[in-house]
């Protein structure tokens, strides 16, 4: 586990909301929340967007919110509608709640919470609209226990999307990042239609088309601690078709 960067005031006091979509993550969520709230970021809040998880993740989140009423918010969604819809809902609520910066991360402990202060520092010290915790820039790492087929799928997906969309990001499918609130408002979440992991690609594509600087910093990506991957055949098909749709859907968007 890395040691979190100690940011100077007033950087460490900014209003940062971490949006965490969940579906059957009852075993991971308490550990994730504990690590997030231990960070030297007193302005950090956690927004859990749960898709009515049958394993009781929503109830676990409610208990955590009772224990930390000023720092945890729970959104109970009606059912499993996809990662993209959960993120749009959660990020929209974070912006409406006054967040100056919004982070995205998975609930499965694959993304190191301790990297957030350093990522925030990188964002605040540059003109970037978003900072990505990247697996594929120099210094980035993949857990040695990550299955070979997942490595191959991830590498192929990045190459495929790069070829079709010409977006200069090494980790196009990354789900760990911090956005400036004004960049998110400029993108306009109402434009985003992707419903699976291609949500990440669509957000990066829109940010690029609108001229926002995207910065990648290295992280170590861990294999999930508990539960099962949410990657399905339908998700893979959507992700494969999405670059073609994006080129048509957003062809008129430019700064």
Q: pLDDT for 1-18, tens place per residue?
A: 789 999 999 999 999 999
Indicate whether 152 belongs to any domain: yes
Indicate whether 105 belongs to any domain: yes
At residue 59, what are phi and psi to the nearest 5 degrees? -70, -40
pLDDT at 54 over 90: yes
Indicate whether 189 belongs to any domain: yes
Q: pLDDT for 129-166, tens place per residue?
A: 999 999 999 999 887 776 676 666 666 666 777 667 77
Indicate whether 1 belongs to any domain: no
- Please check whether residue 167 is in contact with residue 198, taking contact to mean a CB–CB distance below 8 angstroms: no
Indicate whether 255 belongs to any domain: no
Structural domain boundaries enclosing 154 = 16-250
How many separate domains does the chain show? 1
Q: What percent of the chain has pLDDT over 90?
A: 64
Per-residue pLDDT, 143: 77
Q: Distance between CA 186 and CA 212 in Å, rounded?
A: 9
CATH code, domain carrying 152: 3.90.550.10
Contacts of 174 (CB under 8 A, 6+ apart): 132, 133, 134, 135, 200, 216
- Please check whether residue 105 is in contact with residue 21, taking contact to mean a CB–CB distance below 8 angstroms: no
Q: Distance between CA 186 and CA 22 in Å, rounded?
A: 26
């Amino acid at each position: 586990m890395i040691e979190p960067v100690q940011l100077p005031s007033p950087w460490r006091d900014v209003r940062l909301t971490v949006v965490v979509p969940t579906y059957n993550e009852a075993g991971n969520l308490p550990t994730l929340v504990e690590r997030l709230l231990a960070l030297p970021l007193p302005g950090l809040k956690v927004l859990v967007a749960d898709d009515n998880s049958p394993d009781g993740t929503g109830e676990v989140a409610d208990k955590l919110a009772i224990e930390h009423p000023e720092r945890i918010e729970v959104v109970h969604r009606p059912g499993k509608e996809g990662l993209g819809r959960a993120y749009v809902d959660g990020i929209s609520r974070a912006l409406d709640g006054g967040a100056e910066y919004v982070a995205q991360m998975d609930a499965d402990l694959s993304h190191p919470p301790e990297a957030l202060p350093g990522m925030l520092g990188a964002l605040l010290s540059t003109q970037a609209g978003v900072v990505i915790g990247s697996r594929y820039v120099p210094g980035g790492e993949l857990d040695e226990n990550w299955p070979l087929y997942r490595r191959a799928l991830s590498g192929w997906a990045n190459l495929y999307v790069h070829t079709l969309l010409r977006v200069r990001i090494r980790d196009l499918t990354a789900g760990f990042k911090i956005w400036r609130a004004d960049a998110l408002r400029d993108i306009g979440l109402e434009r985003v239609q992707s419903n699976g992991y291609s949500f990440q690609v669509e957000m990066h594509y829109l940010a690029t088309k609108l001229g926002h600087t995207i910065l990648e910093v290295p992280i170590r990506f861990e294999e999930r601690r508990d539960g099962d991957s949410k990657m399905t055949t339908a998700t893979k098909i959507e992700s494969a078709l999405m670059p073609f749709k994006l080129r048509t859907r957003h062809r008129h968007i430019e700064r």
